[in-house]
Amino acid sequence: MNNTMKTPLVAILRGITPSEVEAHVSLLIEEGFDAIEIPLNSPEWETSIRLAVERFGSRALIGAGTVLDVASVDRLSELGCRLIVTPNTNPDVIRRAVDYGMVVLPGCATATEAFSAIEAGAKSIKLFPSSVFGPDYVRALKSVLPKQVQVFAVGGVTPGSLSDYLNAGCVGAGLGGDLYKAGQRPEKTRLQAKAFIDAYRQATATR
Annotated active-site positions, please? 37, 126
Angle between helices 45-56 and 18-31 (to 10 degrees): 40
Q: Which of 69, 74, 98, 101 is nearest to 86 (CA)?
A: 69
Rounded CA-CA distance 71/53 in Å is 19
**Residue 34, φ and ψ in degrees, nearest 5:** -135, 25
**Number of Cβ within a 10 Å radius of residue 119:** 11
Instruction: Measure CA 35 to chain center.
Output: 7
